[in-house]
Structure 1
Amino acid sequence: MSPASPAPFGALRQQLLDAASAFAGAPDALAGILSGMVDDVDRALREELEIFPVCHHSPASALAMARRLREKQPKVIYLELCEDLRPLLEELRNCRLPVALQAFASDLDGFPAGWGPLSVVAPVTEASAEYQAIAYALDTPDVELVLVDRSADHVFQWLPREPAEPAAADGGDGNDTAGNDTAGNEEEAALHGDAVGVEIGDLRPRFAELEEHLLHHGRVRHWSEWWDQYVEQPLAGADYDTYRQVMVLIGSLFRRLRPSGDDRHARDEDRERYMWTRMREHLAASGADPAQCLYVCGAFHAASRVEQFGLAAEAPAYDISPRTATRWQYGLIPSSHSAVEAQFGLASGSVSVAAATWTKAVARSGVAPFRLEGQRGARARRPRTVAPVEPGPVTDRLSGFLSAPPALDGLDEAELLGWCVDIVRLARRNGYLASTADAIAVFETSILLAGLRNRARPTPYDFADAAVTCIEKDVVPGRRDVRRLCEILLGGDRVGQVGYHALPPLARDVYDRLSPLGVDPEKRTVQRALLDLGTNPELVPCSNVLWILRRLLPEGAVRPIMGTRRLGERSIQESWDLAIGRHQRSIIELGYEGVTVEQVLEQRLRRTVWAPEATAADALAAVEDAIVYLGGRRFADELGARAVELLAAERTVDDAPEVLRRIRRLLAHYRATEPVLPAWCEAFVAGGYAHYCTLLPTSFVDDDTGVRQVAAVLGFLLTMEGLALTLGCDRAQLELAVRQSHPEAPAKVALLWAAQSQLGLLSTAELRERCDGLLANPLVVPAFPQYLSGFVQALEPVPALTPFVVEVMSNAFARLPDAVLLPWLPILITTLRDQARELVPVLVREAGRTFPAGLHALDAWVPPWSARSARTALETAGSAATASAVATTAGAAGPVTDLLAGHPAACDAVAALLGCDAGWQPVTQAAGPSGHREAGHREAGELLARYPATAGAVAGLLTSVPGRSG
């Protein structure tokens, strides 16, 4: 750069100092700030290495860059971008912008484990100065492009270690990644995920009060509108010197007015030291002429005051720390306008408006922008050969720019009329009752709003506000509101795409393996794929890939409409909805983990089972996935062996239901497909039997262990008992564990009774007697639903208990009065719903087999358990009179005593059934007839006295036989 005049900004500096003195009454901090801003501009423009200040995704910056590149034709371009992203730039030719450069790491070394996976993205749009520089450097011979910003590894090195989620931290230029309203476009807004964003040229006040002040006095709603109105439009047609001075001035203003406690200040200065150190190293190594170099950085960094600023600085080089051992993967992912807005906190639609402004500015100025040769979605334009233009001396352009009134463009009625007509047409397509009158109203309202905001012509933001006011009113008939329709009209949310040759090997392999289906994986629409695997067995590999992708990709990427893939199940026909084009980013990130989807799935399953928080249930689920998706025995056996280790290490039974469900399914699969069970299955059953026997007494009394978990433990022990005993387990261990269990919770007590019944430690009669005692105790009745819940949970380990549970529940409904039953019934329903939802159908089926099928048979129907009790009670009541008669006529002869004496064998049999052990006693002949009856039938009399009902029933039965009489 040629030498400058001694003081090109002296007059401007004096004017600002005079204004500060007049405003504040005396020189103070304001004067220092204003004078310092002028000094920053002077310093940046005097630097030997030409500094080009930019704003991120600014059409004015892109236009000025295109002009300057054609004028200067630099041989070296230093670009503020992560230095390790340089190899990706060549792949931009195979993509359709916007896309994002990405660095991704899942295996961390040197960072907290909770931070992973780490991801850094740098979005690139066509209406950006960095893309113009990249396109010029890559397509112009003998031009070197050097990225000088910190690496992706250093981005996370410099983050504080306290946050648990560094991806939500600042991406490097001080722009918070807070989300914004994406107007119903959440899918495109999430294309960057939770990655840290690295951008060039963050120009936004870091002082909230300053931004609020600018928005209020600028009569705008958000920062993007203020920037477009007061910076973007005035600089679109400005010359290069004016552009540079204004951008550095703005960067200096925001830099000096940031809060004193801003923790990003140190990181900003470290970045500047890093970049100047890298540029000095490159100049020293290459011997390039600084006059033929161009340094492209954000305007915020152009106003830097670090000691390493400038090639003539005498400060020592910045000590750059080495990278960690983290292995980084690099690639391109799709981006979109809404993704850029969401990640960097821009207003919804601002990037789309910037793209439309860029297109208009290019057409109006006649500047041919740079585009990469072969760029998808754009026509390449080779740069014209222009003689380099040497810059002149630094002159004061700020004074004229700041003092002159803004150039007011006239109203472009044709453009505004076109917008109004098109928005009405688009609104009618989306269900709004819009008409020509609404188009006229939007036109007039746009002009009115622009006048109220001191604008000569309506901006896209004025037009959008007018359209919302005149068309939407208070009703949104569809899923798109009018503001979203305006964004679509002004350019829409352009979504980029990574080309096939720029994809990682895994993504290309997926595309190749799905090619027989005849679907285009690059389309963003949902496509239907039909697979007749019986007729076309060559499509089986496609089906395998789709099922693995369904396991790996987010929900909705591949969705089966027909067909299943489970243990032992394979579909003959399948139907899929494929939206691979919408989830290209996820497929690309799979490529960072492996070469094929099978390898990625294997690695993920292995990481799952060897994770510190892994459980036996997780390992069994991994075994199931390995069998279903990968096949083979080696890997499944490896995961199964890990499941045995995890089960032995568990100290609770929290995962017992999941363990029981999965091991049952795996055992059924192996028994159906293999001649013998795998060794790990036998070890799991044998070890689980001993393990759960040990934990059973504790789980019964532990308040933190639920009934469902205890029931699952019993289910494992009782249903796996046969296999466990064949493997050498001892049943006495289970009996001992049950005897050592002493629960207090009603549901667990019922579970224990069920287990004792299954083991033969408690008979059905005793169990029935205990339940009758519960119903007879008014203090226990309120807790009876909990007992029922325990019995229902016991149906899984003891399915033979189902008729008894139906009996207990029926007795409860039959015996409890309405005053008790009505408050008790809701508790029963909620208890069963919460604790035994899936077992209630078992009870319903058993009740269907027990109760009559029609209402006509209900009146005469007697429950089986009630029939036996009623018969016994009837016999007892019917024989009471006979016993009384025998007792009152002690010495009289009668048919009963004669019958018993005549048939002693029958009497002995009945006595044995009733539990009487006394036999017949001999009679003496000395006594008379009366004495004979009294002595000879003493035992019979005692027996009749104890069981009169039985004697009466037998006598009545025998005397009714023809040929017999009393």
Structure 2
Amino acid sequence: MNEFDALRTQLREAAASFADGPGALEGILLGIVDDVDRAVREPLEIFPVCHHSPASAIAMARRLREKQPKVVYLELCEDMAPLLTELRNCRLPVAVQAFATEVDGFPAEWAPLSVVAPITEASAEYQAISYALDTPGVELVLVDRSADHVFQWGNRETVQSGAEEQDAPPPEEETALHGDAIGVELGDLRPRFAELEEHLLHHGKVRHWSEWWHQYVELPLGDSDHDTYRQVMLLIGSLFRRLAPGDPHRVRVDEDRERYMWTRMREHLAATGTDPADCLYVCGAFHASSRVAEFGVDGTATFEISPRTASRWQHGLIPSSHAAIEAQFGLAAGSVSIAATEWAKNLKRTRVQPFQLAGQAGGGKKRKAPELPAPAPATAPADHLTGFLRRPPVLDRLDEAELLGWSVEVVRAARRNGYLASTADAIAVFETSILLAGMRERAKPTPYDFQDAAVTCIEKDTVPGRRDVRRIVEIMMGGDRIGQVGYEALPPLARDVHDRLAPLELKLRQRGVQRALLDIASRPELEPCSDLLWMLRYLMPHGAARPIMGERRLGERPIQESWDLALGTHQRALIELGYEGVSIEQVLEQRLRRAGYAPRATAATVLAAVEDATLYLRSHRLAGELGTRALEVLATERTVDGAPEVLRRVRRLLAFYRTSEPVLPSWIESFVKTGYAHYCTLLPTAFADEDARVDQVAAMLGFLFSMEGLALSLGCDRTQLELAFAQSHPEEPAKVALLWAAQVRLGRLTRAELRTRCDELLDNPLVLPAYPKYLSGFVHALEPAPGLADFVVEAVSNAFGRLPDPVLLPWLPRLITTLRAGGADLAPLLIREAGRIFPGRLAALDEWVPPWLAEETIPVAPRGRGSRCAPLLAAHPATCDALADLLGCEGDWATGEQQGAALTGRYPDTAVALAAALRHA
């Protein structure tokens, strides 16, 4: 006779009573009992757990001391096994991580791939790991699918280890400690049937699943014996499994995981000859109630494990936190902290000796490992479910001292965070907690009841500080404990970073911001630290290394710098850098090369990589390689979108190489030569293209004019540029003005002719509304022709003097936005030129005459008044000869004032120009 027959009979009668006859309900209830019976009778003992459950951890510690298994099979990715010994060098919670940046066999857009398995002290898996690693003769075997199979069996959207419906995590930065990694949760136990969860929450008078589990599972199982705990957990797992919705993909992944684990366990048993009675299989209660054919040591061996892909996986430990675990696995905010508090209370109440890794960092007072008693003899399975289900809930008496301490402490914490809380609020929280517990049919307020009471009585309607009352209670109940990976467990890159920054004499492994002062002028040995900090700033998230004083520019050496460093806070990012290389320089070189050879890389992005390689690595080899790549990309571009950025970076690189190198690198000479021909070819199209912006065309012209001397010396033909201008026929007013300015720069148009055209525009009422657009073009023309700054000031001044208000006022915002968006580098030219032209005092403004108007008043009579220039010409004959040769004049010098007057009369423009130069001098 089976020990569960009595329970089956009762459930059959209950099903007939509630459902008016046998049916689906009877099948479900009897199937649950069959699942429990099957798992209990399995020769290889199955230990069902729930992740981060204090009750599971207590039961695990107690069972390990009783059974003392020789082999512990653990539901955890099998490729993470080598890292578990490094837990001795860490402060929990931490997460075991598998990380892959180079993917092969998965879509490239998935990269980087990341899988994490968080471990806390109040978890059953940590007790199993500690027991296996610190007990001689015990073997720990991880049997779950590898990280590679996690992504093989699903994709980033469908691979979910947490619940479908997740409670909102607290808005703290610690929730991002795991990044966007896929979480592998040992002991996933939450109903996947939404209606069932809603029913349980409603009738349990709780808000979320974590509170229901604490109230109706954690507390009852906290003091139960092993057989009761095991059967109840198997019952819950089977119930949730049978009521789960039939998602084909989810069901297939769950069953494949179970086939995978049982296949690995049978392989190990066959290879080692271990007796299944000496083994313990630790898995989630959901998987303990499996119905696959491969279940058990006598199951079928038909499951074939697919090979792993060629993706290159790296493994390491990263810091975790209670908030990160809650956010990743859909637990309620504060639930893991409350579980940690409950774990400490259970240890004190039950006097169970937990297992802890020898040398565990941050474990507080080290516990002496007690001697293990003799293994308890195996007992025949018995029905403990019936008694547990019939037993009424044990009502704990109110612990007034504990609740009073909570109430006082939350008021004290609230006042520190800016709340106007008082002793009256502490009394109100105390009484409201009792009231809420009574309304929810509880004899003792739970931490969740206390949290609701504190929010009601203290927070009111405003939150004066960064934290609300709910978050204050979570911190008070245990806080968001944040783990830390010890120095010995860090990858080589992270250890190298800490070693190289040791001269700063800071505790960089601690969390928080620390200020580093580098007086490199007096301590030259700190310059390598400065180089490393700039590379960390480039590679790590914002805030990990933030410069307060100092900057990095081409050709400059640091003198003094000040930094805010938070490497301990961003330890995960530093560890993940270690997956990419063995040194920070190697990782930076890989990143730059990856950016330069990206499929969508542009000439501007590749030049940025060249500049960064020169700035941070001082690598001529890498800069030359990426510069050649920039040349190839530029030759294939058919648009001018990146022209402004290309111009800025090429100018900086040219200035750097001209001042620091004896000769220009060959790649930049080829880039200038190719860019000159390339932009000459694109110039007519860019002028006519409506999608090409004015600043982009101006940048092209700036490249052509500023690089013209070097390009011509390298063999380029100026005819290319002249043909490009001959074929350019813009229609947009701004581009027309830009073309006129470029023609002045080329000498194909004089300033007088340009001034005449602007006057014609102002005199034409049909063109007048578009005149501001012409001015925008002239402003952008300062990029290729900065010598026209005085003319642009003149054009803008004439516009302010002659344009009517209905035209001028709407144009002013456009001018400001133009200067701010595309003319940030051009505005100083205009301001400086305007400051030179306009009077410096208000009193002088009434008598001030603009220079361009003063030039118009100078007579150009061929004789008489031209004689005022004769003394100047006679005093500087060499200058006059040079001007005569430039203008193609022939003749000899004659003595006397009349001869100078005759010369100036024949060339009035030269006389006017010299007079203006003399006046300005």
Instruction: Note closer, same or farther for the CA distance 1:25–1:53 as it changes in structure 2 (3 Å cut).
Output: same
Answer yes or no: is 1:342 the counterpart of 2:327.
Answer: yes
Q: Structure 1 counterpart of 2:852, which letter?
A: W
Of 393, 418, 427, the residue aligned with 2:405 is 418
Instruction: Label 1:503 to 1:783 Cα distance change in 2 as closer, same or farther (>3 A).
Output: same
Aligned: 1:140 with 2:140: no
What is the 5 A alignment of 1:199-238? 199-238=185-224
Q: Write the deviation string for residues 728-756 of structure 1: whole angstroms up to 9, x where unpaired.
A: 11111011111111111111111111111
Q: Which residue of 1 aligns with 2:341?
A: 356
Deviations 1:835-877 (A, max 9, x none): 43442332222122112222222222221222344567999xx
Q: SS of 1:822's equivalent?
A: helix
Indicate how the Cα distance of structure 1 residues 178 and 227 shifts in structure 2: closer, same or farther if over 3 A, else same.
closer
- Asked whether the 8 Å contact 2:493–2:581 carries over to 1, the reply is yes
TM-score, normalized by length of structure 1? 0.88
Aligned AA for 2:43?
E
Instruction: Give, as a single letter, the amino acid of the residue that structure 2 aligns with 1:56.
Output: H
Q: Which residue of 2 aligns with 1:640?
A: 627
- What per-residue deviation string (whole Å, max 9, x for no partner) do you get for residues 546-596 of structure 1? 121111111111111222221122221121111111111111111111111
Q: Quick one: which of 161, 180, 184 aligns to 2:168?
A: 180
Confirm or deny that 1:275 pairs with 2:264: no
> Residue type of the partner of 2:322?
H
644 and 907 in structure 1: CA distance in 2 versus 1, 3 angstrom threshold:
closer
Other structure's SS at 1:625 match: helix
For residues 229 and 27 of structure 1, the distance between their equivalents in structure 2, rounded to whole angstroms, comes to 32
Give the match for residue 356 of structure 2.
Answer: 371
Looking at structure 2, the residues matched to 566 and 256 of structure 1 have their Cα atoms a distance apart, in angstroms, of 65
Q: 1:491 aligns with which of 457, 478, 489?
A: 478
> How far 1:262 sits from its partner (Å)?
5.4
* Equivalent-residue separation in structure 2 for 1:905 and 1:659 (angstroms): 54
Give the counterpart of 2:374 among 384, 387, 407.
387
Residue of structure 2 in register with 1:289 after alignment: 275
SS where residue 295 of structure 1 aligns? Answer: strand
Inter-partner Cα distance in structure 1 for 2:859 and 2:21: 114
For 2:227, the aligned partner's letter is D
Residue from 743, 752, 766 that aligns with 2:753: 766
Cα shift at 1:544:
1.6
SS at match of 1:567: coil
Q: In the alignment, what sits opposite 2:176?
A: 190
Q: Deviations over 1:472-500 (max 9, x none)?
A: 11122211111111111111011111111
CA distance in 1, matches of 2:212, 2:540: 40
Report the equivalent of 1:718: 705
The answer to whether the 8 Å contact 2:167/2:208 transfers is: no
Q: Secondary structure at the match of 1:119?
A: strand
Structure 1 counterpart of 2:486, which letter? G
Q: Secondary structure at the match of 1:146?
A: strand
Tell me how far apart the structure 2 counterparts of residues 507 and 837 of structure 1 sit (CA, whole Å).
40
Whole-Å Cα distance in 2 between the matches of residues 821 and 124 of structure 1? 68
Distance across 2 between alignment mates of 1:72 and 1:477: 54
Counterpart of 2:719 (choices 717, 728, 732) is 732
- In 2, the alpha carbon distance for the partners of 1:26 and 1:47 equals 32
Contact 1:170 1:176 in 2 (8 A): no
Residues 664-701 of structure 1: CA distance to partner in whole angstroms, max 9, x if unpaired?
A: 00110111111111111111111110111111111111
User: Can you give the 5+ residue segments of structure 2 that lack an aligned partner in the other structure?
Assistant: 863-897, 910-921
* Displaced runs of 4 or more, over 6 A: 871-875, 904-915
Superposed CA deviations along residues 70-116 of structure 1, whole A, max 9, x for unmatched, are 01100011100000000001100111100000111101111110000
Identity of aligned residues (%): 70
Distance, in Å, in 2 between the alignment partners of 1:693 and 1:108 is: 42
Q: Does 1:815 align with 2:802?
A: yes
Offset at residue 207 of structure 1 (A): 1.6
Q: Any residues of structure 2 matched to 1:770-781 within 5 Å, and which? A: 770-781=757-768
Secondary structure, counterpart of 1:581 in structure 2? coil
Distance 2:124 2:732 in 1: 72
CA contact (8 A) 2:150 2:159 kept: no
2:95 and 2:902 mapped to 1: Cα distance?
A: 98
Residue 964 of structure 1 corresponds to none
Structure 1 residues 184-217: Cα deviation after superposition (integer angstroms, max 9, x where no partner): 42x2111100111001111111122221221111
Deviations 1:37-64 (A, max 9, x none): 1111111111111100000100000000
Q: Which amino acid aligns with 1:226?
A: W
Tell me the equivalent position of 1:396: 383
> Relative to 1, partners in 2 of residues 1:910 and 1:719: Cα closer, same or farther, differing over 3 Å?
closer
Tell me, yes or no, if the aligned pair for 1:373 and 1:380 is still in contact at 8 Å.
no
Equivalent in the alignment of 1:10: 5
Alpha-carbon distance in 2 for matches of 1:329, 1:359: 35
The equivalent residue for 1:96 is 91
Q: Are 1:85 and 2:55 an aligned pair?
A: no
- Equivalent pairs counted in the alignment come to 872
Q: Distance in 1 between matches of 2:261 and 2:668?
A: 59
**Equivalent in the alignment of 1:940:** none
SS in 1 for 2:297: coil
Q: How far, CA to CA, are the matches of 1:178 and 1:433 in structure 2? A: 33
Q: Give the direction of change, closer, same or farther, for the CA distance of 1:643–1:824 in structure 2 (3 Å limit).
A: closer
- In the TM superposition, what whole-angstrom CA distance separates every residue of 1:238-273 from its partner, at most 9, and x where no partner exists? 111111111111111111111123531110011011
Aligned to 1:117: 112
Q: Note closer, same or farther for the CA distance 1:912–1:573 as it changes in structure 2 (3 Å cut).
A: closer
CA contact (8 A) 2:162 2:185 kept: no
**TM-score normalised to structure 2 length:** 0.92
* Aligned match of 2:148: 153
State the partner residue of 2:895: none
> 1:328 is paired with a residue of what secondary structure?
strand
Match of 2:916 in 1: none
Residues 505, 825 of structure 1: alpha-carbon distance in 2 compared, 3 angstrom cutoff: closer
List aligned pairs for 1:488-887, cutoff 5 A: 488-869=475-856
Compared with structure 1, are the counterparts of its residues 178 and 639 closer, same or farther at alpha carbon in structure 2 (3 Å cutoff)?
farther
Match of 2:871 in 1: none
Higher gyration radius (CA): 1
Query: How many Å separate the matches in 2 of 1:40 and 1:685?
Result: 76
1:374/1:380 contact within 8 Å kept = no
Q: Distance in 2 between matches of 1:633 and 1:818?
A: 57
One-letter amino acid matched to 1:330? H
Hey, what's the Cα distance between the residues in 2 that align with 1:832 and 1:672? Answer: 31
C-alpha separation in 1, matches of 2:553 and 2:5: 80
Q: Is the 8 A contact 2:167 2:333 kept in 1?
A: no
Which piece of structure 1 moves more, 832-841 or 276-285?
832-841
Q: Secondary structure at the match of 2:109?
A: helix
Residues 1:264 and 2:253 are matched in the alignment:
no
Kept in 1: contact 2:319–2:572 (CA 8 A): yes
Match of 1:78, SS state, is strand
Measure, in 2, the Cα distance between the counterparts of 1:874 and 1:543.
Answer: 68
Structure 2 counterpart SS, 1:565:
coil
Q: 8 Å contact 1:88–1:101 — kept in the other structure?
A: yes
Find the residue that maps to 1:675 and give its secondary structure: coil
Residue 320 of structure 1 pairs with residue 305 of structure 2: yes
Amino acid at match of 2:792: V
Cα RMSD of the aligned pairs, angstroms, is: 2.2
Q: Find the aligned partners of 2:592 and 2:31 in 1 and give their Cα distance.
A: 59
Superposition deviation, residue 910 in structure 1: 11
One-letter amino acid of the counterpart of residue 372, structure 1 = L
Query: Larger deviation: 6-15 or 791-800?
Result: 6-15
